[in-house]
Amino acid sequence: MSRAFVFPGQGSQAVGMGRELAEAFPVARQVFEEIDEALKQKLSKLMFEGPEADLTLTENAQAALMAVSVAVVRTLEAEGKFKLADKAAYAAGHSLGEYSALAAAGAFSLADTARLLKLRGQAMQKAVPVGTGAMAALLGVELAQAEEIAKEAAAGEVCDCANDNGPGQVVLSGAKAAIDRAVELAKSKGKKAMLLTVSAPFHCALMQPAADAMAEALSKVTIAPPTVPLVPNVTATETSDPETIRDLLVRQVTGLVRWRETVLYLKSKGVDGMVEVGAGKILSGLVKRIDKEIAPLNAHTPAEIEAVLKTLA
């Protein structure tokens, strides 16, 4: 079986994530301690105990989700006595999950990844005044139709496709008034549309100030070739080149997350199994919708890790 390891994005966080891992595996504890030290913040305490409102803040959620994902990979490697490249043909992540994938594959140091995600979260939150941006999910709509709706609803304001998550699920992002118009327009075409509870309009042109901040930060960080080829959000085609990765991480802040295309690309390369590494099961659900022949596994809790190790043996 050819497998990809995939890494979840924002929205998968929950109070208590990683706690069982830390209790059961010293290598996981070590990851959490290293990230706490890099950020000069007890992020692990926030992950384990909450409060939920603080964990959900973009500047905390992004680094926290990465911490759990990398802790799971390190635990799998330690318990299974293998390296990621021995078991994974590819790595991919949904939005911030791309940073988790790169950290797991050794492209970034753990400390650099934590600091980059802290900055990314802060920059994305600051880019747009609260209440002036919005995001909405369009259901039963494919990307081409979503692009038409976004174009029609824009009326001179920003209204972009942010996430192509799977068949019939596209997320729009942009100015609040434009997104409201897009929701009504979709409904007038007989489609379901709903506003999302988010703190900022991610993956649209309004995020350009955050992209600029990430360009500066990424220019100062060493990126090594990942030990496993990455399939980035922006292109949905593999790369292992550090400078390409650096450029795509900047473009990712304002660009479309091509998750549906990513999964189809992996399938075209012979991938028939995926391991969702970290909190939640959102990506596994999307994978099943995109291609029912790909068998997804989840690795977060000690029991899940034990089950995954049996299949990887």
Chain-centroid distance of CA 308 in Å reads 21
Task: Name the catalytic one among 12, 44, 69, 203.
Answer: 203
Q: Which own/partner contact pairs does 19-24 have at CB distance under 8 Å and 24+ positions apart?
A: 19/47, 19/48, 20/301, 20/302, 21/68, 21/71, 21/72, 21/75, 21/300, 21/301, 21/302, 21/305, 22/48, 22/71, 24/302
Q: Residue 53, Cβ neighbours under 10 Å: how many?
A: 9
Q: Residue 268, Cβ neighbours under 10 Å: how many?
A: 9
Q: Which amino acid is at 120?
A: R
Rounded to the nearest 5 degrees, what angle is found at the Cα of 255, between the Cα atoms of 254 and 260? 145
User: What span, in angstroms and rounded, lies between the C-alpha atoms of 249 and 5?
Assistant: 19
Q: How are beta strands 169-175 and 295-299 bridged, if at all?
A: unpaired
Is 300 marked active-site? no
Query: In terms of C-beta density within 10 A (0-12 exposed, 13-18 middle, 19 or more buried), how is residue 180 classed?
Result: middle
Residues 6+ apart with CB under 8 A from 209: 123, 126, 127
Element (H, E) at 133: strand 133-139
Task: Name the catalytic one among 69, 95, 199, 284.
Answer: 95
58-80 and 110-127 helices, crossing angle to 10°: 160
Chain-centroid distance of CA 64 in Å reads 12
Is 109 marked active-site? no
- Residues involved in catalysis: 95, 203
